Each structure stands twice: as C-alpha cells, then as structure tokens.
Chains A and B, each alone.
Chain A
Amino acid sequence: MLKEILKILENDARTTAKQISTMTSTSSAEVTKIIKKAEKDHTILKYKTIINWEKVGGEQVEALIEVKIAPQRDVGFDAIAERIYRFPQARSVYLLSGTYDLLVLVAGKTMHEVSDFVSQKLAPIEGVQGTVTHFMLKRYKEDGEILEGKEEVKRQPVIL
C-alpha cells in the first residue's frame, strides 16, 4: 500500500488523503497514517513543483559539472562528495561510473555566478583533480514532464 500511495503522490503531490483513500480502497485515516510515517522517516523528502521558469522570464543559469576526484582512504568518494553537496549551489550530486566520478548540477543567477562557484569553491577542494563545466542551453523534459509542446489527446466527444 505504501508503494501505491507513493506512486500516486509522486505523480501529483496535491492528491488529498481522501482521494487516495478512494483510489486505493483504504480508509482515510490509514492513508494519512502511512503518509505521516513516510514523511517522518524521510521516505517522502519534500513536495515540490515542476515549473517552466522560462514562461515567466525567470533568470536562472544551470550547469552540469563533471568532477574527477581522487578517492580517499576509508571514506572513498563520500567525504569529498559531502563537501560539495553541502553547498546550496549544488542542486543535485551523483556518483557515476565512467570517465569522471561526480556529476554536480549547479544553479546560479548568472553564468559568472556559476563559474565563480566552480573555480573558487568546487575546483580548489582538496582531492578534486579536475572539472568540466557544461552550461545548460535548453530543457526539454524535466522529471518526466515535457516542458514545451506537450501533446494533447484529441478525442471525439462521444464514441460508442
């Protein structure tokens, strides 16, 4: 039941406990209990909104930064990853297999702000061997949602 409720909320965080209760044939009280518990144990981290900022002229620059690091004894990549992800500028941080180690999504108001962050904060961290910065030019799809030109299903009003 937890998984089913999480699926529904992942798709639309505004679905009410009452609606979920109907959709899953579970009592409202039980649904609320399950959600509260998931919030408490951080299964549910946060409810947020996917916004197409370009529509309102939102000024935001994003970049994906490849970071190559030298793993350290005992802690591997984790200690350096932590030093990076504690910066609020780092929106997402992933450890990857392949030619580099960390992928960091950095957001800022201007290109300068982002590149300053990379050159002043990220690159000088001890153990960071190199960075490659890719500025994002266009976002087509975000968390499963197509941003522009999302297709609408056109149906006849009545079909028997």
Chain B
Amino acid sequence: MSIRARNLTSQRVNQLAPSGIRRFFDLLASMEGVISLGVGEPDFATPWHIREAAIYSLEKGYTMYTSNLGMPELRQELSRHLKDNYGLDYDPDSELLITVGVSEGLDLTMRAILDPGDEVIMPDPCYVSYNPCVALAGGRPIMVPTNQENNFEVGAADIEARVTDKTKAILIGYPANPTGAVMPRDKLAQIAEVARRHHLLVIYDEIYARLVYGVEHTCFATLPQMKENTILLGGFSKAYAMTGWRIGYAAANKEVIASMTKIHQYTMLCASIMAQVAAIEALKSGEDSVTEMVKDYNRRRLVMVKGLNKIGLPCFEPKGAFYAFPSIKSTGMTSEEFAEKLLLQEKVAAVPGSAFGQCGEGYIRCCYATSLADIEEALVRMGRFVKRYKK
C-alpha cells in the first residue's frame, strides 16, 4: 500500500477546526494603505536597555544551551519578581520553568495534565490557542458562554454547572484577549471555591497581567489555598514589548513543573539563551518602561473606547490588555462580514470576534496598541462605515 493511500496526517490534527478567518488574512495581505487594529502586540520596540543586554551577551559568547529549566539567574529573578508583586514563594529550582512564550507553557501544561477524554472548562470567547491546545493533548474543551452584559466575566456558577467526573481543569486568563476584560478578585475567589470543591486545577494565563488600567490585577495563585492548585503562565511579550523573543514561564507545584519539564526537555530543550538574558534584564530594570507604556496605552484606550461608543458600536469598558471588543450587532452583519466589508470599503482591519469562539459572534476585536493618529483615523472611517449599514 502506498503511503498516499493512507491518511497522511493524524485524526487528531484533522479534527482541529480550520482557522475560519484565513480568507480574511489573505485579503488583508493583498491590500495596501490599511490601518490595522488587528495586531496583538505592542507598537513599541523592546526597550533599548533590554536589547542592549542581549547584544552584549552575544558579544560575550552566550550562545549555548541553558539548563532545561532555564538559566538559574533568570529563575531567581523571576522568583523574586513573583514574591515582590504577589507575595508568593516559588522555589526557583523546582517550581519555575522558563518556556518559549506562554504558548509553549500552555501546550506543556495540557500535555502534562490531561489523559484522553479529560475535560477542561474555559470561557467563550477566549484566546485562539486554548481550545486547540486542549484538543491536541487529547482533552475535551468545554466552553462557558460569557457576554457583554456581564463584561465578559466568566461566572463561577456557570463553570460549576459544567463540571463532570471527567473535568480536570479550568483554563482562564485575565486581563483577557480578545475582550480586554479583567475579573475582580471576589469573582475569581468564587471560581477558586469551585476548583477546591471539585479538586480541579486552574491554569491561569497572566500574559497581560501588567496591562491594567485603574484596577488591580489579581493573580489567581494568591487566592486562598490556590497556589498549590494553580498553574501560572506568564511571559514577557506584552509588558516589556518582547513578543518576537518568545519567552515566558510557568509557575506551579513541583510535580506539575517536573512533568512539564520532562516534555520540555525532549521537545524544546530550553528557551533561547539570548531571550533568557534579555528577560533577566527586563526583570531587573524594566519597571520604568512598563509604567510608561501602561500610561501611554491608557490614553489610547480612552480614545478608542469613547470613539467606538460614539460611532454606534457599543463597547463595555475594557480594563486590561490592549483590546476593545465592541458589538457590531446594530449593522445586522456577522462579524466576519463586517470585518471583510470594513477592510474592503474603508481599509481598516479589525479581527472578527467569531475567531475567538461562538460567543464572539457579533463583536470585533480592535487593538489600540497603535498610534493615536491611526486610532483617530480608523474611528472616522469606521464611523462612516457604520452609518452606511446601521439598521
């Protein structure tokens, strides 16, 4: 039998839903003069002191593998950082793992904790990788609908209603992509209660932790008895404008970190050493840059949210990340239709909310990590567009 007669690719991968917005991407790639609100990363380059530290390390010959867990100095700095910010004690030698971004951390987590058929509960809409990472690890994603009326917060009761004897974990992340939602501490505490009651792990994606505006970020592991049961995934991409470096970390109890490390050492070996050196510098002296960036994002956030509401795209106030998630329901279009027409007619790119789950239908994600001039121009164009189609 020729190999062609068989399935070339695995059932597991074949069953993954294809990205619904491929066509939209291709369209965008063929156009010029587009203002993009579609990016998911800062519009700052990495602060110079961080880049300079990495350049210096290359000059000094730091070009080798590191420990599987990551450079000891980085884990120590990270441990200190988590202590200073959250008052949490993570042992740098057994409870921290340096990963290639939160993306790898998420994949490792799922592969480390799931057996076939195990269920993971997560909010809908949510970041695009959550669902496939669970499915690829043989688990079943169980979606909990959230909505604009509740500021896209996920309710503890809604989670609990979906717990079965197959449920292994809850996967959440606040501030959230795509909605910009931030969950208040008391509501997270209710989720912690559910996790305790049903002995569930909580995977908490903290990639946007530093980007909150006028509210406090709650680290899930700081909730009562939650450090033991939380797998904290964090990274440097958004806070320090280091997306291209691909560097993040996982903080969890010993057993989980040991299992994740097993997979990591066979598949990744270690995160790149220059990214690790840069991350050390970011933790040591990146604080001022973060504060300045947050102030700057906040100004643009206010312009974006006010502008969207004004042109007739109702938008709840996102308190974190750098996304606004307005409703486009008044136009009667699906979010994909809206995004495609907006791109063709007004040359503004925004991401259809449906890319993030069924509950994202009727919304678009607008990133305000772009220049103020571009935000204002985009709002003018979108205003024109909405006027044309408003029902």
B38 in contact with A19 (CB, 8 Å): no
B354 to chain A, nearest CB (A): 12
**Given contacts A159-B38, A159-B39, A19 and B303 within 8 Å (CB-CB):** yes
A157 in contact with B302 (CB, 8 Å): no
B45 in contact with A153 (CB, 8 Å): yes
Q: List 17 A-B contacts (CB under 8 A).
A: A8-B299, A23-B300, A25-B302, A151-B45, A153-B43, A155-B36, A155-B39, A157-B28, A157-B39, A158-B24, A158-B25, A158-B28, A158-B351, A159-B38, A160-B177, A160-B351, A160-B355
B56 proximal to A (CB < 8 A) = no
B233 to chain A, nearest CB (A): 17
> What residues on B are CB-neighbors of A8 within 8 Å?
299
Considering the chains assembled together, what is the distance between the CA atoms of A118 and B296 in angstroms?
44
B302 in contact with A160 (CB, 8 Å): no
Q: A22-B306, A158-B39, A158-B351 are in contact. List 18 more A-B contacts (CB 8 A).
A: A19-B303, A23-B302, A24-B302, A153-B43, A153-B44, A153-B45, A155-B41, A155-B43, A157-B28, A157-B34, A157-B36, A157-B38, A157-B349, A158-B24, A158-B28, A160-B128, A160-B177, A160-B356
B155 proximal to A (CB < 8 A) = no
Q: How many A-B pairs with Cβ below 8 Å?
A: 50
B29 to A, closest residue via Cβ: A157
> What residues on A are CB-neighbors of B303 within 8 Å?
19, 22-23
B129 to A, closest residue via Cβ: A160
Interface of A is mostly: loop
A127 to chain B, nearest CB (A): 41
> What residues on B are CB-neighbors of A153 within 8 Å?
43-45
A120 proximal to B (CB < 8 A) = no
B244 to chain A, nearest CB (A): 10
> What residues on A are CB-neighbors of B286 within 8 Å?
none
B127 to A, closest residue via Cβ: A160
> What residues on A are CB-neighbors of B25 within 8 Å?
158
A22 in contact with B302 (CB, 8 Å): yes
Considering the chains assembled together, what is the distance between the CA atoms of A158 and B343 in angstroms?
12
Which residue numbers of B lie inside 8 Å of A, CB to CB? 24-25, 28-29, 34, 36, 38-41, 43-45, 127-128, 177, 295, 298-300, 302-303, 306, 349, 351, 355-356, 372
> What residues on A are CB-neighbors of B28 within 8 Å?
157-158
B31 to A, closest residue via Cβ: A157
Considering the chains assembled together, what is the distance between the CA atoms of A21 and B122 in angstroms?
38
A25 to B, closest residue via Cβ: B302
Considering the chains assembled together, what is the distance between the CA atoms of A22 and B28 in angstroms?
31
A7 to B, closest residue via Cβ: B295
Considering the chains assembled together, what is the distance between the CA atoms of A151 and B177 in angstroms?
28
> What residues on A are CB-neighbors of B306 within 8 Å?
22
> What residues on A are CB-neighbors of B128 within 8 Å?
160
**Given contacts A8-B299, A23-B303, A159 and B41 within 8 Å (CB-CB):** yes
A55 to chain B, nearest CB (A): 21
Considering the chains assembled together, what is the distance between the CA atoms of A23 and B213 in angstroms?
12
Contact for B40 among A19, A23, A24, A160, CB less than 8 A? A160
